[in-house]
Structures are given as structure tokens and as C-alpha cells.
Amino acid sequence: MKGCYVLLIELKEDREILFGRRRRQYFKKGFYLYVGSALNGLENRINRHLSKKKKLYWHIDYLLQYANVISVFYIESTTRMECLIAESLSKKLSSTVVGFGCSDCNCKSHLFYGSKKKLLSLINELKMLKYKEERQT
């Protein structure tokens, strides 16, 4: 299966996170949406994000050391839709983490902050499916 996914993430306390060796970023406690794509295996990519034991590679890996994935949503597609979804979310949410998860595109961000209710409402508008193997942590 190929497509795009959105992780609903909860960070339970304010935290400064070091990405790699140089970049530090402050994150407020609360709820985030992370948008990604997986055209070489959606299920494998989602399961990697759900795993706590992995090599830190992407921005999201560093955040997920301290945060929990609450739910996973996806849409099947053979084309990269993550930038379209990120653009749609950025128009409806004013709180983004600039530069997060978008080093390979021209988006402002692929990580968005908001109330759980608002974020779930936006996911509902996107008509994404809930991933069957989500994990509560």
C-alpha cells in the first residue's frame, strides 16, 4: 500500500529537543499533527513511527522519543500528497513548527499544533481513514 499518513501526537510536557547535533527546538505540551508520505510501503513507515526502538533519522523520530502517537490516519495514493495536506492544514492552523519535516520540499512545515478537538476535526475534513494497527501508549 502506498500513500500519505497523518500522525496525531501527544507531548505530555513542555520540552526542548535536540535534532542531530546542532538544532534545538522547543515544543509546548499538547497535541500535534505530523504529515508524511510513504510511496514505498505505507504500513512499514507507519509501523516504524509506532516503534520506540529505531535509529533516529527524520525530524519526527526525535520528537517521538518524548511524545506518543495517539492515532494514525492515512489515504492511499500513488502520488505524493503530503505537501497538499500540509498546505491545507497550514491554512487552517496558525501554529506550525517552521521547517519541521519538510527539508525535501518547499512547505513551511509538516508539523502542526492545536487542540485535540480541532486537529481531529481537520482530519475528518480530509476524509482520511484511521489506521487499523494504531497503538495507544
Q: What is d(CA 36, CA 6) in angstroms, rounded to the nearest whole number?
A: 6
Q: Which residue ranges make up each domain of the chain? A: 3-130
- 519538510: which residue's cell? 102
Asked whether the predicted pLDDT for residue 26 surpasses 50, the reply is yes
Whole-number average pLDDT of the chain: 90
Q: Give φ, ψ of 83 to 5 degrees.
A: -70, -35
**Strand positions, DSSP E, 12-83:** 15-19, 23-27, 30-38, 68-76
Other C-beta atoms lying within 10 Å of the C-beta of residue 89: 24
Q: pLDDT tens for residues 11-24?
A: 999 999 998 777 88
136: confidence class by pLDDT, cuts 50, 70, 90:
very low
pTM of the model: 0.90
> Does residue 137 surpass a pLDDT of 70?
no
Is the separation of the CB atoms in 49 and 85 below 8 Å?
Answer: no
Is the distance from CB of 5 to CB of 73 less than 8 angstroms? yes
